[in-house]
Amino acid sequence: MTDIIGARVDFTSYIDATRQVLRWSQVGESRYVCAANVHVLMESHDSSDYSRILNSADMVTPDGMPLVWMLRLKGHPDQQRVYGPTLMLHVLEAAARENVTVGFYGSSPEVLQSLLPRMRERFPGLQMVYSFSPPFQEMSQEEDEEIVKRINASSARILFVGLGCPKQEKWMADHRGKINAVMLGVGAAFDFHAGLKSQAPAWMQKIGLEWFYRLVTEPRRLWRRYLYHNPRFVFLAVLDLLGFLR
């Protein structure tokens, strides 16, 4: 584990992260895994409550290339990106192989309707036992308790959560110990794998320009996030590397 501008990020890989998720799931442990990028770290920097949620996660993977570069500069030269949408595919492949049941929570009914058959076709034998698109508005305690009951009744041992940052991390933290599954926050992975949103080309991801691709494809939704967070992250990252944030 390494601290980046005050947030915990783990030194891991797709293989190690997948193995750990499978180990937890096979013994029925309630855990949550976060995929951290610049947006996640800046939300953590701006909110002490969210910082506690992120730093209390059972695993935090370096989802964005700026975090990978920071880990390399902080003593992990072999660190590679562990991107949420790709980690989801690795975990699904392992779950299909090991007969571990999975579920999906988040996004819209239309996205799930497209996602599930695609994953079933891509991973033969995959046991998908639960899926639900929650309402946009906040649910009552009774409604939430009913959802928890249904997830647990489904016997899903791995639950992919696609609510977006910071909502999905808060939801997973609130449900650790209630839901008998390993929860993976995977952001826009549902939309990508459902074929409803395009991912940045591999070369743009490799050089850390995925944010620019997403800004171009979704400018009205994302311009404020990138304009506000990215310059501040660069400034804080430099201070961190120079030792001024310790």
CA–CA distance, 143 with 18 (Å, rounded to integer):
31
Residue 162: C-alpha distances to residues 53, 71, 131, 228 (Å): 17, 26, 11, 23
Report which of 81, 107, 98, 197 is spatially closest to residue 160, judged by C-alpha positions: 107
Q: For residue 162, which amino acid is it?
A: G
Span 15-48, pLDDT tens digits:
999 999 999 999 999 999 999 999 999 999 999 9
- For the entire predicted model, the pTM comes to 0.94
Span 124-177, pLDDT tens digits:
999 999 999 998 888 999 999 999 999 999 999 999 999 999 999 999 999 999
CA–CA distance, 215 with 209 (Å, rounded to integer):
10
**What proportion of the chain, given as a percentage, has pLDDT over 90?**
83
Report which of 162, 17, 4, 5 is spatially closest to residue 81, judged by C-alpha positions: 17
pLDDT for residue 137: 82
Are 223 and 140 spatial neighbours (Cβ–Cβ below 8 Å)?
no
C-beta atoms surrounding 184 within 10 Å: 27
pLDDT for residue 57: 98
Strand order of the β-sheet with 102-106 is 59-62, 31-36, 182-185, 158-162, 102-106, 128-132
CA–CA distance, 199 with 66 (Å, rounded to integer):
18
2-197 CATH choice from 1.10.287, 3.30.310, 3.40.50, 2.30.30: 3.40.50
* β-strands 2-4, 7-9 pairing: antiparallel
